[in-house]
Amino acid sequence: AKTHHHDFVIQATPVKRLCMTHNTITVNGQFPGPTLEVNNGDTLVVKVVNKAQYNVTIHWHGVRQIRTGWADGPEFITQCPIRPGKSYTYRFTIQGQEGTLWWHAHSSWLRATVYGALIIHPKEGDSYPFPKPKRETPILLGEWWDANPIDVIRRATRTGAPPNVSDAYTINGQPGDLYKCSSQDTTIVPVDSGETNLLRVINAALNQQLFFSVANHKLTVVGADASYVKPFTTSVLMLGPGQTTDVLITTDQPRAKYYMAARAYASAQGAPFDNTTTTAILEYKTASCSSNCVKTNPVFPSLPAYNDTATATAFTTKFRSPRKVEVPTEIDENLFFTVGLGLNNCPRGASSSNCQGPNGTRFAASMNNVSFVLPSNFSLLQAHHQGIPGVFSTDFPANPPVKFDYTGNVSRSLWQPVPGTKLYKLKYGARVQVVLQGTSIFTAENHPIHLHGYDFYIIAEGFGNFNPKRDTAKFNLIDPPLRNTASVPVNGWAVIRFVADNPGVWLMHCHLDVHIGWGLGMAFLVENGVSELESLEAPPVDLPVC
Ligand code: C2O
């Protein structure tokens, strides 16, 4: 196994998009940031130097970080932010994961522009469980704001209103042909005809689930979230923010150019969303087509309607592990978490300019009615490791405080999220089941729920209220998919299982950044086991302090 050293300089860089040049926060002046390539078993050492004017941290999305929680990256969870002018070196080893992950800033809305691909090839000497692709191309789906994204979320936080939606979606940083001033920079994916290539599709958008399709080409799904899956063929993908999907594509078509395109899967009824479409071009270099086809316009793929939940869910429920896997059959912790939005009444005496949500409220979100609040003087992991009292409590509820018809027509008075920094404690090795139950308070929506430090099996999902009597029969304990981000269906539920074998403090949250900003998250505190190999490593000497 190798050790890879990288320097990430966080800096403001002029980037021109949609006819305007913006001073954009980037890594090493690149947007999107550098692609990191490693083999399973390798170690990464990334020195992050902050030359920007904002606090920053980097999260290695989906990396298990076994015993190395100090390198996970979420601000105030596993570390204090890297202040302007300071640096921090992330050091971790890839253990047992192969496929596509990514990295992104985990501080305010910086990840709008601070992100990149993390590609994990098979262990040295091993091969893919499919024929070796001729080319491999990362496809990073993103979201672009004309305004500074940090200002967008600051304004929303101040006013209590929803933030402005984005001005474009992007593929590898470029909006593409359908946007103003963009066509000359459209991303080109060069191919030769008659080859099978691997597209590593990553949804790095801040706030939007996306459909993705390539005109006239079938996509064979072979992996997701750095785990292989039982291959299946589809013409459209749906990815929630945070999710990755590896697909094989065979270049067997006669024309020279085909569009690939992505646009919103917007599951929330009536909520505003960016309704634009981003494109890139799959360009055949050798003409297997007759000479005239080179001049024809590229063919456009058909994408589902923005509210096509049937297609989105049919896709997300197709995933299976390639073979029988070891899902815990017994469980030690049976948890039931509601995930959803809400509205908070304005505090007494608050000015109306701070209460710009519906009917003078403020937007909020919660799990089990707790709106997650980050600490500000310590990271949770540091507070846990050093035994600092008063930073968090460990009374995160195992069940919602009141039971009701979660996906029915509920009155919001039932459900005013209460702010808190509450963790749920797990013994080392505990076998955990979490039912993630979507709610319809204020509006129902498909929530991409991401767990740090773990992959989990998604053993079932469905619509309506989870009913243990009826729905336990649907549990797949044979070959469920292993993921780090689950799309909890709009007005529905998903059940996940994992073994708590990685000590530390691990955030679980909705990967729509606006929702985590409103509190849609919680954290697990996983205790050390008995031996050193079951315990969190000592913190690095350069760990930032608050
Ligand atoms: Cu990809 Cu907590 O995030």
pLDDT attached to residue 443: 85
* Ligand 1 contact, 520 CB (< 6 A): no
* pLDDT value of residue 415: 67
Helix (H) or strand (E) holding 264: strand 257-265
Q: What is the pLDDT of residue 312?
A: 97
What is the model's pTM? Answer: 0.97
CA of 283 to the centre of ligand 1 (A): 33
| C-beta of 200 in contact with ligand 1 (< 6 A) | no
Span from the CA of 148 to the centroid of ligand 1 (angstroms) = 20
Strands 188-191, 277-284: pairing is parallel
- Pick the atom of ligand 1 nearest to 102's CA: 1
**Residue 298: predicted pLDDT:** 85
Find the 350 Cα to ligand 1 centroid distance in Å.
Answer: 32
**Ligand 1 site, residue 175, Cβ cutoff 6 A:** no
Q: What is the mean pLDDT of residues 515-535?
A: 97
Tokens of 329: 């059959």
**What does the DSSP assignment read for 300-346?**
PPP---TT-HHHHHHHHTT---SS-----SS-SEEEEEEEEEEEEPP
Going by pLDDT thresholds of 50, 70 and 90, the confidence category of residue 146 is: very high
Predicted confidence (pLDDT) per residue in 116-127, tens digit: 999 999 999 999
Using an 8 Å Cβ cutoff, are 343 and 364 in contact?
yes
Closest residue (by CA) to atom 3 of ligand 1?
61
The tokens describing 303, both together, are 């994408």
73 conformational bin, left if phi > 0, alpha if psi -120 to 50, beta if neither? left
| 22 CB within 6 A, ligand 1 | no
Is 111 near ligand 1, meaning CB less than 6 Å away? no
Per-residue pLDDT tens over the stretch 234-251: 999 999 999 999 999 999
Rounded to whole angstroms, the Cα distance separating 545 from 129 reads 44
pLDDT at 288: 52
Q: Quick check: 289 pLDDT over 60?
A: no
Buried b (16+ CB within 10 A) or exposed e, 412-434: beebbbeebbbbbebebebbbbb
Closest by CA position to 337, among listed 241, 162, 456, 237: 456
- Nearest to 193, CA basis, from 117, 260, 258, 272: 258
The Å distance, Cα 235 to ligand 1 centre, comes to 28
Q: Looking at residues 88-93, what average pLDDT do you find?
A: 98
Residue 386 three-state SS: helix
pLDDT-derived band at 76 (thresholds 50, 70, 90) equals: very high
Span 138-164, average pLDDT: 95
**Are the CB atoms for 160 and 354 separated by under 8 Å?**
yes
**Cα 204 to averaged position of ligand 1 atoms, centre (Å):** 10
Question: Please, which residues have CB within 8 angstroms of residue 255's CB and are 6 or more apart in sequence?
Answer: 216, 284, 289, 293, 296, 298, 299
Chain segment 370-419, per-residue pLDDT in tens: 999 999 999 999 999 999 999 999 999 999 988 889 999 777 666 688 99
- 419 forms beta bridges with 371
Protein residue closest via CA to atom 1 of ligand 1? 61
The pLDDT value recorded for residue 269 is 86
Q: DSSP letter at 408?
A: S
Contact 401, 369 (CB under 8 A): yes
Shortest CA distance to 138 belongs to which of 116, 169, 122?
116
- 61 alpha carbon – ligand 1 mean position (Å): 6
- Beta carbon of 362 within 6 Å of any ligand 1 atom: no
Instruction: Say if residues 47 and 87 touch (Cβ distance below 8 Å).
Output: yes
The answer to whether residue 182 scores a pLDDT higher than 70 is yes
Q: What is the pLDDT of residues 425-442, one digit of tens each?
A: 999 999 999 999 999 888
| Gap between the Cα atoms of 114 and 104, Å rounded | 6
Q: What is the pLDDT of residues 295-316, one digit of tens each?
A: 567 899 999 999 999 999 999 9
Q: List, edge to edge, every strand of the sheet that includes 3-17.
A: 20-27, 3-17, 43-50, 87-93
| CA of residue 194 to ligand 1 center, whole Å | 37
Closest CA to 16 of 130, 182, 170: 182
Six token digits for residue 423: 């963790």
Please give the distance, rounded to the nearest whole angstrom, from the Cα atom of residue 472 to the centre of ligand 1.
29
450 in ligand 1 pocket by Cβ < 6 Å?
A: yes
- Asked whether the predicted pLDDT for residue 14 surpasses 60, the reply is yes
| Amino acid sitting at position 448 | P
Greatest distance between any 2 Cα atoms in the chain: 73
Residue 108 CA, ligand 1 centroid: distance in Å: 12
Reply yes or no on whether the pLDDT at 287 is more than 70. no
Question: 285: pLDDT confidence band, cut at 50, 70 and 90?
Answer: confident
Q: In what order do the strands lie in the sheet with 492-499?
A: 418-420, 370-372, 362-367, 333-344, 431-438, 492-499, 456-463, 482-483
Flag whether pLDDT at 85 surpasses 90.
yes
Q: Could you report the predicted ipTM of this complex, rounded to two decimals?
A: 0.99
pLDDT bracket for residue 286 (50, 70, 90) = low
Q: How far apart are CA 25 and CA 27, in angstroms?
A: 7
CA 147 to chain centre: 22
Instruction: Check: CB of residue 364 under 8 Å from CB of residue 344.
Output: yes
Strand partners, 94: none
Strand 196-203 with 209-214, pairing: unpaired
C-beta 104 within 6 A of ligand 1: yes
SS3 content of the chain, % helix, strand, coil (to 5): 10, 40, 50
| 467 contacts: CB under 8 Å, gap ≥ 6 | none
